[in-house]
Amino acid sequence: MEKPGKHMFLCASFRANGEPQGICNKKGGSALVQYLQEELTDRGMTDVMISTTSCLKVCDRGPAMVVYPENTWYGGINGEDDIDAILDSMEDGEVNGEYTIT
């Protein structure tokens, strides 16, 4: 397996024991995984890997995602339009400042 060029970690609010309970999951963050994967494929962004994570500790800004190796943190990802906006910027080699968590 080749290492990915980028790795997106989408918060799914997983807890060590039991079901996801956090804000990102409650706001639908986990449900965006499939859409994100489909969009990456449709856009030919095949060197980007997606993983879901436990709480990223920015719940007040969730649903949240981190992109490496840039270490760019995004928040307020409330739906497919937000995913599209972030991916549009990534395709242009830019960071979408509307969603960044600093």
Residues that bind ligand FES (CB under 6 A): 11, 13, 22-24, 55-59, 62, 64
CB of 96 to ligand FES, least distance (A): 18
CB of 54 to ligand FES, least distance (A): 8
Residue among 45 and 58 whose Cβ is closer to ligand FES:
58
CB of 45 to ligand FES, least distance (A): 23
The first and second tokens of residue 7, run together, are 């790795």
Rounded Cα gap, residues 13 and 27, in angstroms: 10
**Residues pairing with 51 in the sheet:** 9
CB-nearest residue to ligand FES:
22
CB of 56 to ligand FES, least distance (A): 4
Task: Classify 61 as helix, strand or coil.
Answer: helix
Residue among 23 and 45 whose Cβ is closer to ligand FES:
23
Residue among 24 and 48 whose Cβ is closer to ligand FES:
24
Helices 80-91 and 32-42, axial angle in degrees (round to 10) = 30
**What kind and span of H or E run contains 1?**
none
Is the separation of the CB atoms in 6 and 48 below 8 Å? yes
